[in-house]
Structure 1
Amino acid sequence: MADKPSTPLLAKLVGLAAAGLAAFVATQVVNQSWQAARGHKPPKAEDPGDSGLAEIVVAAALTGAAVSIARVFATRGTAKLAARS
């Protein structure tokens, strides 16, 4: 097996924090955009059943996609920073 360069613990922690922050920001952006477009916050699992299935699916897909993309960019960015040092 080829030796893989190890990432320092600090770089891993910074990457984890950056990914978490990026996920939080992406969720807030989706919530604010949904509020502006629809007049209410996106439906959540614990909300009463007044939202239609299509609205729930679209909200979940948008939130999931935004969070995934933000986490990828944050993880790649911190990996590049760790590689420089």
Structure 2
Amino acid sequence: MAKKDGGDIVPALIGVASGLAAQFVMRKALNFTWARVTGEEPPTDVDSPDISLGRALSWAVMAGVGTEVARVLAVRAARAKLVGAGPEELDI
């Protein structure tokens, strides 16, 4: 099966699926870690005036960076495994 731009759709679909799975797992891990470290549940509505700015920004940065790093690594690993690329594909 081929994509419109001539590439194969299977690696793209596997990349999307692995990225979504990594984001889900990382979000669960971040929620758990936040609760263990702070003793409180993570903020669910960071736009609420009841949440301090520092707490809202801390959660936003941690959640944003954490989930995006997990997604990037999962997509690269899945594509490297699928196309048979070596470990240099995952080099940072």
TM-score (norm 1): 0.82
Matched ranges for 1:66-77 at <5 A = 66-77=66-77
The equivalent of 1:32 in structure 2 is: 32
The equivalent of 1:20 in structure 2 is: 20
SS at match of 1:34: helix
List gaps (5 residues or longer) in structure 2: 1-5, 86-92
Structure with more contact order per residue of length (Cα contacts < 8 Å, sep ≥ 6)? 1
Q: Deviations over 1:13-69 (max 9, x none)?
A: 111110000001111111000111112221122775322100000000000010011
Instruction: Name the CA distance, whole Å, in 2 between partners of 1:40 and 1:19.
Output: 28
- How much is the aligned-residue C-alpha RMSD, in angstroms? 2.3
SS at match of 1:23: helix
Following TM superposition, the consecutive aligned residue runs of length 4 or more in structure 1 with deviations greater than 2 angstroms are: 44-50
Instruction: Name the CA distance, whole Å, in 1 between partners of 2:76 and 2:16.
Output: 11
The equivalent of 2:79 in structure 1 is: 79
Q: What amino acid maps onto 2:44 in structure 1? A: K
- Identical residues among aligned pairs (%): 26
The equivalent of 2:11 in structure 1 is: 11
Q: 1:22 to 1:84 in 2, by over 3 A?
A: same
Paired residues in the alignment total 81
